[in-house]
A and B are shown apart, each in its own frame.
Chain A
């Protein structure tokens, strides 16, 4: 029945290389996501529900918004954070509440995801005055 020798049970250089490759992939992925959009003077939040854009708004004032999707209600708050603004899901009745635990996001490329509600909020950079439409 035995066709292979006993597996290696002590950490090897190969294991370090595997771990290093994964960490390198994480760094490259992070750099790529950060470089994905030029920081404009104003951040814009794109709210998608079921893969379709449901709302898009500029982070220019403190406000609270409510979105309903798949029977769940999510409370989203825009707050002043340093010199700019951040957005966070402050309350949700979804199971797990991972979207609430993610906390506030304030940089281009960052996102908050709520899988049960099929909702995501992504931050994009927007040049001042170049907005096509502000909904809500």
Chain B
């Protein structure tokens, strides 16, 4: 019963992450900051939630399913490498930061957003075969601090709102 409940929750979270990815594509940040890969990272809220509530294993499953289905629906399998590398860099960093005392969900989200940007720049370097994308990092990292703070705020509001539902944390 518990595994079915967990499986269902993973499926719902995957669907939510896909919907959030689609939603943020409707409001691209590239108009304000003209750099490839700049986005708010709303889907990262789902990763943060899955990491805290379900643990690293199910969170990795949700992330993989989101990246795979997102690339498939967009008809762009080239994007899969970018989203997987960015996503897993972010999740790995968030797993480490979560264990550090004195860091809240804000710090975890900021670290995750910055790591996501690093992962995507690394993916671009591998794809292009040169170091040209590295030039974007000094701009992408501060953007990651800002977007990470925003997703951290949303995650904090989410956990606050769900605190009365008897939510358990792993």
Assess the A51–B105 pair: CB atoms within 8 A.
Answer: no
Chain A residue numbers with a CB within 8 Å of B142 are 22-23, 26
Q: A101-B34, A110-B135 are in contact. List 9 more A-B contacts (CB 8 A).
A: A4-B169, A6-B169, A9-B156, A15-B106, A19-B107, A19-B149, A25-B114, A29-B137, A99-B36
Assess the A51–B128 pair: CB atoms within 8 A.
Answer: yes
Q: How many residues of B contact A (CB 8 A)?
A: 47
Assess the A98–B30 pair: CB atoms within 8 A.
Answer: yes
A3 contacts partner chain B, Cβ-Cβ < 8 Å: yes
A-B contact count (CB 8 A): 140
Q: Which A-chain residue is minimally distant from B128 (CB atoms)? A: A120
10 closest residue pairs by CB, A with B: A51-B129, A30-B138, A15-B107, A8-B104, A101-B34, A26-B141, A120-B132, A14-B102, A98-B36, A111-B132
Assess the A9–B159 pair: CB atoms within 8 A.
Answer: yes
Assess the A115–B138 pair: CB atoms within 8 A.
Answer: no
- A101/B130 contact (C-beta < 8 A), A18-B110, A19-B149 known: no
Q: Which A-chain residue is minimally distant from B112 (CB atoms)? A: A18
Partner of B130 from the list A5, A48, A116 (CB cut-off 8 Å) is A48
Instruction: For chain A, residues 70 to 129, give those with C-beta under 8 angstroms from any C-beta of chain B.
Output: 96, 98-99, 101-103, 109-113, 115-116, 118-122
Chain A residue numbers with a CB within 8 Å of B129 are 48, 50-52
Q: Which B-chain residue is minimally distant from A15 (CB atoms)? A: B107
Instruction: For chain B, residues 118 to 150, give those with C-beta under 8 angstroms from any C-beta of chain A.
Output: 124, 127-130, 132-139, 141-142, 144-145, 148-149
B87 contacts partner chain A, Cβ-Cβ < 8 Å: no
Chain B residue numbers with a CB within 8 Å of A96 are 30, 36
* Sampled A-B contacts (29; CB under 8 Å): A1-B168, A5-B169, A6-B159, A9-B105, A11-B106, A12-B104, A12-B107, A14-B101, A15-B104, A17-B107, A18-B103, A19-B107, A19-B148, A22-B111, A23-B141, A23-B142, A26-B142, A33-B135, A50-B128, A98-B35, A99-B36, A101-B35, A102-B35, A110-B135, A111-B132, A113-B132, A115-B36, A115-B128, A120-B130
Assess the B133–A113 pair: CB atoms within 8 A.
Answer: yes
- A9/B134 contact (C-beta < 8 A), A14-B100, A22-B114, A22-B144 known: no
Assess the B138–A3 pair: CB atoms within 8 A.
Answer: no
Q: Which A-chain residue is minimally distant from B114 (CB atoms)? A: A22
Interface residues on A, range: 35 or more
- A26 CB to closest chain B CB (Å) equals 4
B160 contacts partner chain A, Cβ-Cβ < 8 Å: yes
A27 contacts partner chain B, Cβ-Cβ < 8 Å: yes
Quick one: which of A27, A98, A99 has the most chain B CB within 10 A?
Answer: A98
Chain B 51-68, CB within 8 Å of chain A: the 1/0 string? Answer: 010000000000000000
Chain B 148-165, CB within 8 Å of chain A: the 1/0 string? Answer: 110010001001100100
